[in-house]
Structure 1
Amino acid sequence: MSVEGFAAGGYEAVREALQRLVDDGSETGAGLSVWREGHEVVRLNAGWADTGRSRPWRSDTLVQPFSLSKAFVTIAALVAVREGALALDEPIANYWSEYGVRGKERTTLRHVLTHRAGQPRFTAGAADLDLLDDSGLRKDLAQAAPEYAPGAALGEHALTYGHLVDGILRAGAGTTLGDVFNDVVRPALSLDAWFGVPDQALDRVADLEYADPNWPRQLHAAPWLEIPAGALDTGRVNSRAWRQSVFGAVNLHTTATAMAAFFSHLTDEDGPVRHLLGPQLHTELLTSQVTDYDEVFGTEITWTLGFVRDKGKIAKGGIGGSVAWWSLRHHHACAYLTRRLDDHSRAAEIAAALGDDLTVMRED
C-alpha cells in the first residue's frame, strides 16, 4: 500500500523511510507529521486504521500512544498549580489526607511528576480490581507503602501516573484529570486529543494490534504493567468502554498532526503552553529535574516535569512504538503514532531521516 499525504521539498527521505516500513511489513497503520517554523511540512498516512483493513489511515485518525499521554497529565496538574490549588513542593497529604501514610507523608507533586514518588506500579492487592475501577485503584495507591523512599530513586510510574495526579486533583482542586484536560488544556492548546473519546469521534479511533503475539511478555517494562490486568490486552483497549474512559498514564487518543503541532510550540516564548502555564511553570516544565537510572526504561534518563530530555531533544514516547519530540538541534517537531505494537525501531528510522537520534526512547 502506498503512503498517502505530502512531504515538502527537502523531506523526501522521510516519505521514503515510511514507505520502506510499509513495504517490508514493519508498519500496518501509522500517522507521521513534521512541523517546522509553525507549519506542517510533512503529513503522511500509512496503512490501515482497523484490524480488518477496511479503513485506510487518515490524517484525522486517532490512536492511543500509551505513555505519550503522561505529558498531558503533567500539564493538567500544572494548570492546578498555576491556579493556586496545588503546589509542586507541598506534601500531597496536605490535600489528600488518606494518602499520607506508610512513608508517603512527605511525598510531593514534584516527586510524582518526575517519577520519584516510589509508586511505579499498583500493588499486588489491586490484582483483582478491574482496569476501569478508578476509585479502587486510587485507594490502592493511597493505602500502599512506596517501593522506595520518595525522591530516593527513579522509575517511570507506568500505569499509576494518571491515577496519582487524578487523586491529587480531586482532593486539592475539587476537580478531575479528565475535566481539567478536556475543559481547560485541550481547548487552550487547540488539541485534537481526548481523555474519553466523545461519541462523535469514536469512528476515527484506530484498532491496536500486536506485531508479535508475545510482545506484551517481551517488554522490559512488563513487570510494571501487569496489575491491573488488561492494559496491554488489545481486546480490552480496543473496546468502547476503554476508549471513553480516563486512564491518564496511557489512554489519551490523538493524531500525529496534533502531537507534532503541540511539540512544535512547546518551547515557544509566546506559545500556547507558556500562555497556559505562565513563564515560571513553563520553565519548570522544560527544565531537567533529575538524571538517574530509570528501572522501567532500563537505562539512565533525564526527566523534566513530564518529558524526557537530552542534548538533542525534548520527547515522550510510549510502549508500542509511538513517539513525539522537539529537536533542539534542528528546530523541528515530529510525531510518529502507530497502532502496530512493537519496538521503537520504526520511529528511529524516521528520526534518522530527519537527522535526529531517539536512542534514549527505550520503553520496551
Structure 2
Amino acid sequence: MRVNGFTEDGYEHICLVLQELVDSGLETGAGVSVWREGREVVRLNAGWADAARTRPWRDDSLVMTYSLSKAFVTLAALVAVRDGALTLDRPVAAHWKEYGVRGKERTTLRHILTHRAGQPRFPATAADLDLLDEGGLRDSLAQAAPEYAPGTSLGEHTLTYGHLVDGVLRAAAGTTLGAVFHDVVRPALDLDAWFGVPDRALHRVADLEHAHPEWPERLHAAPWLQVPHGALDLGRTNSRALRQSVFGAINLHTTATTTAAFFSRLTAEDGPVRRLLGPELHSELLTSQVTDNDEVFGTRLTWTLGFVRDKGKIAKGGIGGSAAWWSRRHNHACAYLTRRMDDHSRAARIAAALGDDLSVVGED
C-alpha cells in the first residue's frame, strides 16, 4: 500500500521514510503528523486500520497510545490543582483517607505525577482482579505498601498512573479522571482524543497487533505489566469494553494530527495549555522535576510533571511504538502513532529525518 497524505515543501523525505517502513513490513498501520509555526506541514497515513486489512488508515483513525496517555492524565490532575481542590505537595492522604497507610502517609501528588510514589505496578493482591475493575484496582493501590519510600526512587507507574490520579480526584474534588478530561481538558484543547471512545467514533478505532507473537514477553517492562492480566492481550485491548472504559495509564485513543497539534502548542506562552492551567502551573508542568535511573525502563530519565525532557525535546512515548515530541532545537512537533506494537525504532527513523533524536538523555 502506498503512503498517502501531504507534505509541504522540504518535508517530502518524511513520506519516503514512512514508505520504506511499510514496504519492509515494519509498519502495517500508522499516522504521522508534523506541526510548525501553528500549522500542519506533514500529515501521512500508512497501511491499514484493522487486522483484516480492509480499512485503510485515515486522517481520523484513532489508536490506543499506551503511556502517551499519561500526559493527558497529568493535565486532568493539574486542573484540580488550578481549581484549589488539590496542591502538588500536600499529602494526598489528607483527602484520600484510605490511601494513607503502610508507608504512603506522606505521598504527594507531585510524587505521583513524577513516577516516584513507589507504586509502579499493581500489587500481587490485584492479580485476580479484572483489568476493567476500576474500583477494585484503586482499592488495591490504597491498601498496598509502596515498593519503595515515596520520593526516594523513580519508576514509571506503568499501569497505575491513571488509577492513582483518579483516586485522588474522587476523594479531593468529588469527580473522576474521565469527567475532568472530557468536560474540561478535551474541549479547552480541542482534542480528538478519548478516555472512553463514544459509540459514534468506534468505527474509527484501529486494531492493535503484535509485531511478533512473543513480543510481550521480550519487553524489559514486562514484569510491571502482568497485574492485572490483559494489558497486552489483544483480545482485551481490541475489545469494545476496553475502548469505552477509562484506564488512564494506557488507553487514550487519539489521532496523529491531534497529538502533534497538542505538542506544538505545549510550550507556547499564548497557547491553550497555558490558558487552561495558568502561568504558574504551566511552568510547573514543563519544568524538570527529577533526574534519575528509571527502574522500569532501565535508563536515566528527566521527568517533568508528565513528560520526559532533555536538551533536545519534551516528549512522551507509549509502549508498542507510538511517540510524540516537541523539538526544542527545531521548534516543530511530531507524532508517530502506530497500531503495530514493536519497539520505537520506527518513530526514531522519522525523528532522525527531521533532525531530532529520540534516544533518551537524562540531563536537561
After the TM superposition, list the runs of 4 or more consecutive aligned residues in structure 1 that deviate by more than 3 angstroms: none
RMSD of the alignment, in Å? 0.8
Q: TM (normalized to structure 2)?
A: 0.99
Tell me which residue corresponds to 2:188: 188
CA–CA distance in structure 2, aligned partners of residues 296 and 335 of structure 1: 24
Tell me which residue corresponds to 2:345: 345
CA–CA distance in structure 1, aligned partners of residues 145 and 268 of structure 2: 40
CA–CA distance in structure 1, aligned partners of residues 139 and 331 of structure 2: 43
Tell me which residue corresponds to 2:272: 272
Tell me how far 1:297 sits from its aligned partner: 1.7
Amino acid at match of 2:121: R
CA–CA distance in structure 2, aligned partners of residues 173 and 32 of structure 1: 37
Tell me how far 1:361 sits from its aligned partner: 8.9
CA–CA distance in structure 2, aligned partners of residues 81 and 289 of structure 1: 17
Amino acid at match of 1:317: G
Do 2:122 and 2:137's aligned partners in 1 also have CA atoms closer than 8 Å?
yes
Amino acid at match of 1:66: Y
Taking the TM superposition and a 5 Å limit, the aligned residue runs for 1:118-129 are: 118-129=118-129
Tell me which residue corresponds to 2:14: 14
Tell me which residue corresponds to 2:87: 87
Tell me how far 1:218 sits from its aligned partner: 0.5
Do 2:300 and 2:361's aligned partners in 1 also have CA atoms closer than 8 Å?
no
CA–CA distance in structure 2, aligned partners of residues 152 and 361 of structure 1: 21
Tell me how far 1:298 sits from its aligned partner: 1.1
CA–CA distance in structure 2, aligned partners of residues 140 and 279 of structure 1: 36
- Find the residue that maps to 2:63 and give its secondary structure: coil
Amino acid at match of 1:141: L
- Find the residue that maps to 1:302 and give its secondary structure: strand
Tell me which residue corresponds to 2:300: 300
Uncovered stretches (5+) of structure 2, i.e. residues with no partner: none
CA–CA distance in structure 2, aligned partners of residues 310 and 206 of structure 1: 31
The percentage of aligned residue pairs carrying the same residue is: 78
Q: TM (normalized to structure 1)?
A: 0.99
1:67 aligns with 2:62: no
Tell me how far 1:124 sits from its aligned partner: 0.6
- Compared CA separation, residues 61 and 244, structure 1 to 2 (3 A): same
Tell me how far 1:187 sits from its aligned partner: 0.3
Do 1:317 and 1:361's aligned partners in 2 also have CA atoms closer than 8 Å?
no
Do 2:7 and 2:42's aligned partners in 1 also have CA atoms closer than 8 Å?
yes
Tell me which residue corresponds to 2:256: 256
Amino acid at match of 1:241: A
Uncovered stretches (5+) of structure 1, i.e. residues with no partner: none
CA–CA distance in structure 2, aligned partners of residues 225 and 98 of structure 1: 24
CA–CA distance in structure 1, aligned partners of residues 30 and 206 of structure 2: 9
CA–CA distance in structure 2, aligned partners of residues 128 and 23 of structure 1: 42
1:282 aligns with 2:282: yes
Matched positions, count: 362
CA–CA distance in structure 1, aligned partners of residues 219 and 332 of structure 2: 30
